[in-house]
């Protein structure tokens, strides 16, 4: 909560602030671990921006990305596959150590040359074109790509390549001269970065406390302390907001907005999130190998109706796996996904569907409206003759051979189709590696043209081909871009920043302030 803590006259003489500002956030979920390299979950991605930095930062101005110096002050492509970066001097980690070129090389190579299995997954799905980072001198490094890279700045701005301290990490367990898997496991419970807030305490899955880091290299953090508490039920979050236990709460469904906005002490902010809630289908399940059945499962779903019923029409229903944030690669002209129940019925008949049960897995609270959407989809399936059943549980089943369909999300990790569709559905990406999606040489060739061309029209044409493949043999249906809302006290001025990936709780300088009392 925002509390005014009077300072003594003596402290004032030393230019101490007149009061300290503390904030409490009631969050639907808190991450079970904190490691920016390992994590890419919707829950975990909320928590890194305040405590860690990348080499290159960004801001979004009128929808356009502008790259800015961060831990690197300048960067130059000195060869087609080699980027040289000059490092900022005087940067400190939260444990008091100076950041060095060795820390930067260690941080990058832990991802580029990953040996820790969770890092290997993240490296493979977005960083596979990078060979290594090397130290040139105390303030200069070079990054080597395997082939010409059209997205240098974008991929140096990823959460996964935030900078962590080498000696601290290696010293957490075992041999302090070697980075071991147990070191990275330990780091995820005792994380250290260079950002404006240090993580003072962390209770996995329950609570995280940030404190202002006095030695931050940039603009000072505007808050002295931020406590993020897990409050999984919407009703409990709303009660906490009304009673003053929380100043901001996350994941407010549209049907609760009017109740909050009717209270003059409270307000809401919200927007369609740069993320798709999706239905995934296991093309390798013996019962779903015929693509006509999966086409029917997709065609039976009236996504506009889901939007109206669950999101009051505030969500965005896509015609394809595309978002405005993709800029020149935004392709709303593609008609990859549609609602056609009569065609669904015909396809089921052609495929010889005999009424076998198709299960749909969902967590009870992870996605806003996720369970309600699953229940509504069962009714839509029934109307075309599909015998569906919702299975509720907290366990991730996307890698289980018996999984048939379930909800998932495809966030926009960066502003490019590669940053949303590509991260999830590239050859050897998480969908294929978890065994529910298949690619072949033709798909891989199309992907190569899309991923590595520096010509926008070539990339668009290749992406259209990929969408044709997805339409013919569907593994996924983007349901909608959900309209996510946050609620807060009237005197708190905060909104999610357009340059961040979805759900980030950004409390850096310029991101939050308080109305005058």
pLDDT digits (tens, 9 = 90+) for 8-57: 333 333 333 446 799 999 999 999 999 999 998 889 999 999 999 999 99
Q: Which of 32-36, 97-101, 305-309, 502-506 has the lowest mean pLDDT?
A: 502-506
Q: CA triplet 208, 210, 214: central angle to 5 degrees?
A: 160
Asked whether the predicted pLDDT for residue 388 surpasses 80, the reply is yes
Answer for the pair 96, 130: CB distance below 8 angstroms, yes or no: no
Answer for the pair 517, 5: CB distance below 8 angstroms, yes or no: no
* DSSP state for residue 222 in the 8-state scheme: S
pLDDT at res. 61: 82
Provide the strand spans (E) within 257-386: 266-272, 275-281, 357-362
pLDDT at res. 316: 97
Asked whether the predicted pLDDT for residue 147 surpasses 80, the reply is yes
Buried b / exposed e over 353-383, threshold 16 CB at 10 Å, is beeeebbbbbbebbbbbbbbbbebbbebbee
pLDDT at res. 19: 63
Report how far residue 442's alpha carbon sits from residue 287's, in angstroms, rounded to the nearest whole number.
25
Mean pLDDT across 222-249: 96
Tokens of 154: 């974008």
Answer for the pair 249, 487: CB distance below 8 angstroms, yes or no: yes
Tokens of 58: 């960004």
Q: CA triplet 425, 481, 431: central angle to 5 degrees?
A: 15
Asked whether the predicted pLDDT for residue 505 surpasses 50, the reply is yes
Model confidence at 102, pLDDT cuts 50, 70, 90, reads very high
Q: Region of 305 please: left (phi>0), alpha (psi -120 to 50) or beta.
A: alpha
pLDDT at res. 17: 45
Tokens of 327: 């800029």
Phi and psi at 403, nearest 5°, equal -60, 135
The residues, any chain, with a CB within 8 Å of residue 15's CB and separated by 6 or more, are none
Closest CA to 468 of 327, 321, 329: 321
Buried b / exposed e over 271-309, threshold 16 CB at 10 Å, is ebbbbbbbbbbbbebeebebbbbbbbbbbbbbbeebbee
Answer for the pair 420, 408: CB distance below 8 angstroms, yes or no: no
Report how far residue 410's alpha carbon sits from residue 249's, in angstroms, rounded to the nearest whole number.
23
Please report, rounded to a whole number, the percentage of residues in the chain having pLDDT higher than 70: 96
pLDDT at res. 15: 38
Please, which residues bridge with residue 480 across strands?
277
Mean pLDDT across 387-394: 97
Q: What is the three-state SS of 98-155?
A: ECCHHHHHHHHHHHHCCCCHHHHHHHHHHCCCEEEEEEEECCEEEEEECCCCCCHHHH
* pLDDT per residue as tens digits for the range 305-349: 999 999 999 999 999 999 998 989 999 999 999 999 999 999 999
Q: Which of 301-315, 334-348, 448-462, 486-500 has the lowest mean pLDDT?
A: 486-500
Q: What is the mean pLDDT of the chain?
A: 93
Asked whether the predicted pLDDT for residue 62 surpasses 90, the reply is no
Answer for the pair 20, 5: CB distance below 8 angstroms, yes or no: yes
Mean pLDDT across 463-491: 97
Provide the strand spans (E) within 369-420: 387-392, 405-411
Q: What is the pTM of this model?
A: 0.88
Helix, strand or coil for residue 369? coil
Mean pLDDT across 183-212: 98
Report how far residue 293's alpha carbon sits from residue 473's, in angstroms, rounded to the nearest whole number.
10
First to last CA, the chain: 15
pLDDT at res. 516: 64
pLDDT at res. 127: 95
Phi and psi at 42, nearest 5°, equal -60, -35
């Amino acid at each position: 909560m925002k509390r005014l803590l009077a300072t003594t006259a003596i402290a004032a003489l030393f230019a101490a602030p007149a009061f300290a500002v503390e904030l409490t956030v009631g969050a639907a979920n808190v991450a079970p671990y904190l490691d920016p390299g390992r994590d890419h979950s919707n829950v975990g991605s909320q928590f890194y921006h305040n405590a860690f930095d990348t080499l290159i930062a960004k801001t979004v101005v009128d929808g356009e990305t502008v790259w800015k110096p961060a831990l690197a002050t300048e960067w130059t492509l000195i060869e087609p596959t080699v980027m040289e970066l000059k490092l900022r001097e005087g940067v400190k980690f939260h444990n008091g150590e100076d950041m060095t070129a060795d820390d930067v090389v260690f941080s990058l190579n832990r991802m580029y040359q990953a040996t820790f299995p969770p890092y290997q997954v993240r490296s493979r799905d977005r960083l596979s074109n990078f060979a290594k980072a090397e130290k040139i001198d105390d303030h200069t490094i070079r990054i080597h790509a395997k082939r010409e890279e059209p997205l240098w700045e974008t991929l140096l701005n990823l959460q996964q390549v935030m900078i962590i301290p080498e000696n601290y990490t290696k010293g957490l367990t075992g041999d302090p001269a070697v980075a071991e898997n147990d070191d990275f496991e330990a780091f995820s419970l005792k994380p250290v970065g260079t950002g404006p807030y240090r993580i003072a305490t962390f209770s996995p899955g329950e609570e995280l406390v940030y404190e202002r880091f006095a030695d931050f290299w940039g603009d000072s953090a505007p808050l002295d302390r931020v406590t993020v508490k897990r409050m999984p039920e919407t009703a409990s979050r709303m009660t906490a907001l009304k009673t003053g236990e929380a100043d901001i709460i996350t994941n407010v469904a549209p049907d609760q907005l009017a109740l909050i906005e009717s209270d003059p002490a409270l307000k809401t902010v919200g927007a369609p999130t740069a993320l798709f809630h999706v239905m995934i289908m296991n093309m390798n399940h013996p019962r779903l190998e015929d693509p006509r059945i999966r086409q029917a499962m997709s065609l039976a779903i009236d996504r506009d109706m889901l939007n109206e019923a669950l999101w009051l029409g505030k969500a965005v229903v896509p015609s394809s796996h595309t978002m405005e944030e993709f800029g020149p690669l935004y392709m709303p002209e593609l008609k990859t996904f549609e609602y056609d129940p009569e065609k669904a019925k015909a396809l089921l008949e052609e495929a010889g569907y005999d009424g076998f049960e198709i299960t749909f897995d969902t967590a009870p609270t992870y996605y806003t409206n996720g369970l309600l959407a699953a229940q509504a989809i069962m009714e839509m399936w029934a109307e075309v003759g599909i015998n569906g059943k919702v299975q509720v549980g907290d366990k991730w089943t996307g890698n289980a051979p018996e999984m048939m369909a379930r909800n998932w999300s495809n966030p926009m990790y960066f502003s490019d189709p590669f940053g949303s569709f590509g991260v999830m559905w590239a050859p050897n990406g998480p969908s294929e590696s978890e065994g529910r999606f298949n690619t072949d040489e033709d798909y891989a060739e199309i992907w190569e043209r899309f991923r590595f061309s520096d010509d926008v029209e070539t990339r668009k044409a290749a992406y259209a081909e990929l969408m044709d493949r997805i339409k013919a043999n569907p593994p996924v249906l983007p349901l909608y871009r959900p309209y996510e809302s946050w609620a807060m006290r009237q005197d708190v001025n905060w909104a999610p920043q357009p340059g961040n990936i979805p759900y980030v709780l950004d409390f850096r300088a310029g991101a939050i302030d308080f109305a005058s009392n």
